[in-house]
Amino acid sequence: MEAGRKENGREIGGGVDEVAPTSGRRRVEVSGQKNEAVYHLFGGEGSLTKNECPGKCSYRCSATSHTTVCMTYCNYCCERCLCVPSGTYGNKEECPCYNNMKTQEGKPKCP
């Protein structure tokens, strides 16, 4: 991963590098400032397109008996966050936007 380009002896940009696309989607790696950790956005927020939401939500809601309600809210959340957690339950830490959406009563909005 390249740190950035140099211009007039100073480093310009840096920290964000585009990696070869996989499955037709772009993957970005972001280098942390202090600990130089690498964070992958692939699979997290913004990793889906709106067209991919119904398929991901169909799997996410496949284990519930309340499929219609689950699909409604899952698609609502996916269209805003462009992410659906893996599996049929839990794993919401993969999509903070999806995890943080709440109802007026303060309960989780996204399945």
pLDDT in tens, 40-89: 344 577 789 999 999 999 999 999 999 999 999 999 999 999 999 999 99
pTM: 0.61
CA 101-93-24 angle, to 5 degrees, is 95
* φ, ψ of residue 78 in degrees (nearest 5): -65, -40
* C-alpha span between 106 and 111 (Å, rounded): 14
Tell me the mean pLDDT in the region 31-38: 39
- Residue 24's pLDDT is 46
Neighbours of 3 (CB within 10 A): 12
Average pLDDT value for the chain = 74
Range picked from 9-18, 27-36, 96-105 for highest mean pLDDT: 96-105
Pairing between β-strand 38-40 and β-strand 25-31 as defined by DSSP bridges: antiparallel
- Residue 45's pLDDT is 76
